[in-house]
Structure 1
């Protein structure tokens, strides 16, 4: 299950439990809308409550990233999981965006240039 929030050029996604293909498609729809009407997007993924992800989601993420390689400015990922951290660095191969991993929401939002009180 995911929770999404968006303001300006920021799309924030929090994942709870297993991250599924249906969740990812919801995210894709929101991002496509923002790209169409706002332009380049910043992403904030909070994966601290994620229990895992499905294989079809992983494949969809690679395809989506390649299709939108130039549509992201910065991608902040909140996690304490080493596997997620490693996969975040691999994701940089598919996008032009700066990708950083954080353990603190405040640090991630500061890096993105978003006020901490904008937390969903």
Structure 2
């Protein structure tokens, strides 16, 4: 993978008032990546009166953020902190575990780090 390749892929699914997001982060994210993805996330969340969001973040190919993109990410988390029920961060770097720890300070739900994607999925679906 080239170092210049970056972006966020998103999958969404709704089950009654539960929203499941799958986010795959690649490369070093930019502000433009967030400008592209935010309207999708906002639209999905506002379709439910009292949403509970379950997110799986695949960070295996994630290399970090540009400064403005980090601020964008922080704003998303802050503005929807009370709607996140569970966030699983799947990755392979030590700082991914730190990101999960920091996430627990910010959102009202649970954030947990996983090295195994299947375990992350089971946890999101509340089966483990």
Which TM-score band applies after superposition, normalised by the shorter structure? 0.7 to 0.9
Give the aligned partner of residue 34 of structure 1: 44
Give the aligned partner of residue 71 of structure 2: 59
Give the aligned partner of residue 55 of structure 2: 43
How high is the TM-score relative to the length of structure 2? 0.80
CA contact (8 A) 1:76 1:108 kept: yes
Match of 1:75 among 78, 84, 87: 87
Does 2:11 correspond to 1:5? yes
Task: Tell me how far apart the structure 2 counterparts of residues 46 and 77 of structure 1 sit (CA, whole Å).
Answer: 6
Alpha-carbon offset, residue 63 of structure 1: 2.1
Task: Tell me how far apart the structure 1 counterparts of residues 43 and 65 of structure 2 sit (CA, whole Å).
Answer: 24
Task: Tell me how far apart the structure 2 counterparts of residues 88 and 27 of structure 1 sit (CA, whole Å).
Answer: 21
Give the aligned partner of residue 90 of structure 1: 102
Give the aligned partner of residue 15 of structure 1: 25
Give the CA RMSD over aligned residues.
1.8
Task: Tell me how far apart the structure 2 counterparts of residues 4 and 43 of structure 1 sit (CA, whole Å).
Answer: 10
How high is the TM-score relative to the length of structure 1? 0.85
Alpha-carbon offset, residue 51 of structure 1: 2.2
Alpha-carbon offset, residue 43 of structure 1: 0.9
CA contact (8 A) 1:20 1:54 kept: yes
Which segments of 5 or more consecutive residues in structure 2 lack a partner in the other structure? 1-6
Matched residue count: 115
Which segments of 5 or more consecutive residues in structure 1 lack a partner in the other structure? 116-120
Cα deviation, 1:55-111, whole Å, max 9, x if unaligned, reads 111122222222112111110101111112112211222110100111111111100
